[in-house]
Amino acid sequence: MSETKRLAGKVVLVTGAGQGVGRGIARACAGEGASVALAGRTVAKCEAVTREIEALGGIAIALSCDVTDPAQIAAAVAATADRFGGLDALVNNAQSSVRRLLAETTPDDVDLCWRSGALATFHAMRAALPLLRARGGGSIVNFGSSTAIDGNAAFGAYAMAKEAIRGLSRVAAREWGRYGIRVNVVVPNALSPSAERFREQEPERFSRMESMLSLRRVGDPEADIGRAVVALVSDDLAYLTGDTMMLTGGV
C-alpha cells in the first residue's frame, strides 16, 4: 500500500475488474486509499481481487455486472454509492472483443462490441453523472485501443466501438466540465490475460513484438496502467480533460 494515499476518501468504480488491466487499476486505486467497487461479469474473479486488496489493508467490494445490460450497470453504480456513500470516479474498462477480418465480420460481432463497449460506457457515464455532480465533480476514465487508432487488420468491430468511445468522451468532457467532471481516455498496452497466453504460446513472436516497442516491454497492468489511472482520478492531473493518454510503451 502507498504511503501517499492520494485517493484517500475517494470512491472508485472499476468495470471489468476481475482480471488484467481492470484488476491492476483496482489494486492501484485501493493502494492509494480509495474505496473501490470491482464490477465484473464473473463475480468470483472480482471477489478474488477484493480479497487481495483487503489482505493489503485496502477497502473493496465485488459486484456482479454484465455491462451489456444497462440495468445491471445502473445497479452496480447504485450499489457502489449505497455501500460507500457516493462516487468520485468511474473507470469503464470492460469490453468484449471479436477478431475477424471485415469481410467475415457479422452484425452480431459488431453488436457485441458495441453493446459491451460504446453503449456500456454511455450507460455507465449516464448512471454516474448525478453522483459525480453531487460530489461537486470527479473523474471518468474510458478506454480506447491502439488497434483502432492504427487500423489493425481483423479488429473492425472492436475498432468501431473503441473510436466511438473516444468521440463520446470528448463530447462528455465538453458538456460536463461545468460540473467539475473530467473525462479522459486511456489507450493501454499491458499484459492482459490474452497477452499472457500469447507470450506462453508463441514466445518468439511475443519477444519480437516487445522489441518493436520503444521501451522494449509490455506494460504492467498495475504499475504502468493502474498508477496512471490513479493520476487521472487524483488531483495530479486536475486540468486534463477530453484527452487521450497513450500508455503503449512507444508503439
Cα gap 81→193, rounded to integer Å: 30
User: Residue for cell digits 493518454?
Assistant: 245
Residue tagged active-site, from 158, 187, 222, 247: 158
Cα gap 45→62, rounded to integer Å: 9
Contact 118, 206 (CB under 8 A): no
Report which DSSP code applies to 218.
P
Distance of CA 226 to the CA centre of its chain: 9
Cα gap 214→204, rounded to integer Å: 18
Question: What is each CA distance from 32 to 9, 63, 229, in whole angstroms?
Answer: 10, 21, 11
Is 239 one of the catalytic residues? no
Catalytic residues: 158
